[in-house]
Structure 1
């Protein structure tokens, strides 16, 4: 039987040095030729406006919202804001028709006047007696 011995360290080092030297020589010859002129590439830069559009789907949620209601019911006389409008505190959004309320107010005022007249009449009768 014949056994092969692994290569010695000395042989491996010598082979590595030879490979490195050959690599350096090839690099100098093919890539670092002093007679070969350097080549530069130039380009002109132009200023342009960039526009980017994004198309997405989703749900829009308001930053603030409020549920509005009236203290009384009635017919709407005027609408002064639309859905999506920005509004400020105290701004009139809707006016109600107050024709019925005005009539009821006049009726109530007449009743008050009648009551005051009756009270005055009663005071006069009391003071005469």
Structure 2
């Protein structure tokens, strides 16, 4: 399984989040491979591969994979800003609970770990948070030439 496949599973997991049959996000996609759509609809989640580290494990290569999920919420109603912030917390926690501690059907990884949840920005009613997640990816043992 490659990075794009893993990213697609993360995207599908977030797309499947709903409350009372209503999707929590109007858009979920890859920021790294496709860029953000124009115009962007809210609330949205953008997933991207941050990087990896070779653990130098032998004979089976093991990489620590890092992904980030950016969650953006716009207060489009007349709700007070405090309510809009609480709504974004619900989305942040829903994404974390859907991924943290799970393998999401991927056989060659360890369960995902939420490394941090961070405030990114607030501008004119648009609040942005990020979730940094990490796993270890076990590759096949290389066959010598």
TM-score (norm 1): 0.25
Q: Which has the larger radius of gyration?
A: 1
TM-score (norm 2): 0.22
**Between structures 1 and 2, the one with greater strand share:** 2
Tell which has more relative contact order, 1 or 2 (C-alpha 8 A, sep 6+): 2
